[in-house]
Chains A and B, each alone.
Chain A
């Protein structure tokens, strides 16, 4: 299976702190994407990083990709209570996305 596996499964931090979530996968990919899911809602795309990219930024989000280690990390800086959600990495190898188990982030005000 090429699915991503997130680490940690759950993360609880204070508002203003940074949150780092990691994702590992097993096979070659075209790109890796991060999605966010608020409880009971659909998934929202956050950022896509291609296999030939090493780092990408979008607002308070920073994503890194290490294809040699088959791993990626998502950093959310200066977290807010509204960032509380589940975060999933998804790997794309043949035009379909396979999602990991997700990291449940709780940001306390």
Chain B
């Protein structure tokens, strides 16, 4: 069964460092998303991506965040200068069309020290 894969599963970084989280969505999907979940809290929408551009982003997704799909398969989330409060699980998800079930990866746990 096709699945969304994410790497790394866990990353520990120092405050102020840049972090890149990687995702390989399901191959024939068209819409891609990043969500985050701070420990014990709800899953929060960060950004959606379609046709090689951001289609929507939340207020969390400020100038420190960026996304790209550099090679047509990987979908990356970059945090330029990490803060303590960026510590969370980051989930990538994809769907084949705009209103349907999301397929989530297992997440990347980011710990900022």
List A residues at the B interface (Cβ < 8 Å): 3, 30-31, 33, 35, 37, 41-45, 48, 88, 92, 94-102
Contact = CB atoms under 8 A, between A and B. Distances in A.
B14 interface: no
B107 A97 contact: no
Given A95-B55, A95-B98, A42 B107 contact: yes
Contact of B104 (A42, A100, A101): A42
Nearest to A48: B101
A96 B33 contact: yes
Contact of A45 (B31, B45, B102): B102
B48 A42 contact: no
A42 B103 CA distance: 9
30 contacts: A3-B42, A33-B101, A35-B104, A37-B43, A41-B106, A42-B104, A42-B107, A43-B43, A43-B91, A43-B93, A43-B102, A43-B104, A44-B104, A45-B102, A48-B101, A88-B42, A92-B99, A95-B31, A95-B48, A95-B56, A95-B99, A96-B33, A96-B48, A96-B56, A97-B33, A97-B102, A98-B45, A99-B43, A102-B42, A102-B43
Nearest to B57: A96
A101 B43 CA distance: 8
Interface string B20-44: 0000000000010101000001111
A44 B107 CA distance: 12
Given A31-B99, A41-B107, A94 B42 contact: no
Q: How large is the interface on B (under 10, 10 to 19, 20 to 34, 35 or more residues)?
A: 20 to 34
Main secondary structure on A side of the interface with B = strand
B23 to A, nearest CB: 11
A68 B106 CA distance: 35
B100 interface: yes
B46 to A, nearest CB: 10
A100 B41 CA distance: 10
A52 to B, nearest CB: 13
A7 to B, nearest CB: 14
